Structures are given as structure tokens and as C-alpha cells.
Amino acid sequence: MIRRINHTARKRIERRSLVITLDPAARAPIAATFCVDLDDYAFPRGSLVIAEAYGQARIARVELGKTGEGKLSQRFELPPFASPEGIHFRIKVIPPPPAEPKLLGLAESIAPEIGGDGASKSLLPVRRADLDQMVWRVDFEGPSGPVLEINQDLVAGTNYVRLAHFTALAHIEILRQILSEALSQGGVDEDPTAGSWQSRWIVLGAMLAGRECDSDGALEQVQQDWIRSACEGFARRRRALAVLNEAGKDDQ
């Protein structure tokens, strides 16, 4: 017999509470990293937090943890999926068994970031630009947040950002620059619904560093240490040294 879920009085989980990234560099199956912060929603302690990936006529379901455990950061492989195209997510909060399986909270139709490292479609758009002899730079002048500019005369074009050595070397510096700028502009929003680019990047930095950080605009030692921890966390997740060594074998 199918158990129906009671949707009465469920809470809508805001997009600001979630960072979901897909790693396109991972070999099949696709891997997803989740950073979910539900402390502001007052869900009953011990409720189950479930993520569902769907698309490509496939679905995958993983358990991220329980409410009351703080920020939930997990990385899972999604065996049904061999590519990131068309994948969306929903996040559900339900009571643990044997309680009635009613839906306490829901976030629906979440489009993930692509990259998992700060160089994603949503967080960091890429465009070609006249950079003279510079290969790349991060532009902070636009109202929507940073943009990664790639030299318009580069033969590989914007595909250059996906090459192994660029990921292993440049992405770490890109992350450092953006986190520094986000903190120097005041850190996270006082209004949690604002969803500024600074807040989104700092949430990602917290996931990579394993701890939170904020700033009143001054980059003091505590902020510098946090930025370094976030960059080190990124390097570990992307196996930067191993990737670079493997790519270097072709040049020997």
C-alpha cells in the first residue's frame, strides 16, 4: 500500500538556504555537493532532510542528515545520471519513522550550480573580452556580481576554463579574489532574503572552509585565514595536485 504524504502546513524552503553543485569533471556517475542550512525554519529536531535529483527520465534520492545537526554539507554520487544536463533537485523535510510521513518543508525545482568550485554558471558567468596579453581576469564592475573574462583571442575560447591545469591553478586564485571582494564589501546580508552575490559566495566559502566567516569590510587575519582554508578545501575537493600531475604526464 502506498503511503501518502500529508502536505498540510508545510514550510517553503528558500533558495538562499541551499547551495547545490554538480561536478562536471567527475567521471560517471555525476557527483553532487549539498550545503543546506535549515536552522532558521524551526523544524522539529531529528526530522529527515531528503534530496531528490530528477531529469533525463531518471530520479535519485539521498538522505542529507537530520535537522538540529547544524549546516548539512554532504557529497553524493548520483548513479542514474551520466551527465549534468537537465538535472534539477527538490529538498524535502519529513519526520523520522514511525511518525506520519507528512511534508514539513519543501524546496522545488532547484537548478544546481555547475562546477562546485565557484566557477559555475550561476555564480560565475564566463565571457570573452579584450584583455591584451592577459589570459583571464575577474570583473567586479557589473551589478549582478563577478564575471570571469577570458581573452577573446585565446584559441580555446571559454572552453579553456574547463582544462585540467586551469582548474588546478587558476580556479584557486579566482576563488581567493572573489571571497576577498565579497568580504571587503561587508560579508553576508543582514536581510537573509536579499540573496546578494556576496552572500552566495560566502556560503560556498563556508562549505569549502568547514566554518562560517563574516566581515564588516575589513580583511583582518581571521578573514585571511578563512579565505586560505576555503581555497585549501577547494584544492582538496578537486584534487588539484593530482589533476595537475596527471595532466603533466602528457607533456613528458
**In angstroms, how far is the first alpha carbon of the chain from the final one?**
62
Domains of the chain: 11-114 (2.60.40), 126-251 (no CATH)
From its phi and psi, is residue 176 left (phi > 0), alpha (psi between -120 and 50) or beta?
alpha
Sign of CA dihedral 189, 186, 71, 27: positive
Please identify which residue in the block is written with the cell numbers 511534508: 103
DSSP designation for 40: G
pLDDT per residue of the chain (252 residues) written in tens, 0 to 9: 334 444 456 898 987 788 888 876 555 678 888 989 898 899 999 999 999 998 878 899 999 999 988 888 888 888 888 777 778 899 999 998 887 778 999 998 887 876 544 444 457 888 889 999 999 999 998 777 899 999 999 888 877 887 777 878 899 999 999 999 999 987 665 544 446 788 888 888 888 888 888 777 888 999 999 999 999 998 888 788 887 887 766 555
- Residue 200 grid cell: 552566495
DSSP per-residue letters across 125-181: -EEEE--TT--EEEE--STT--EEEEETT-TTGGGGGGSHHHHHHHHHHHHHHHHHH
Calpha distance 90→61 (Å, rounded): 10
Please identify which residue in the block is written with the cell numbers 539521498: 62
Q: Quick check: pTM over 0.75?
A: no
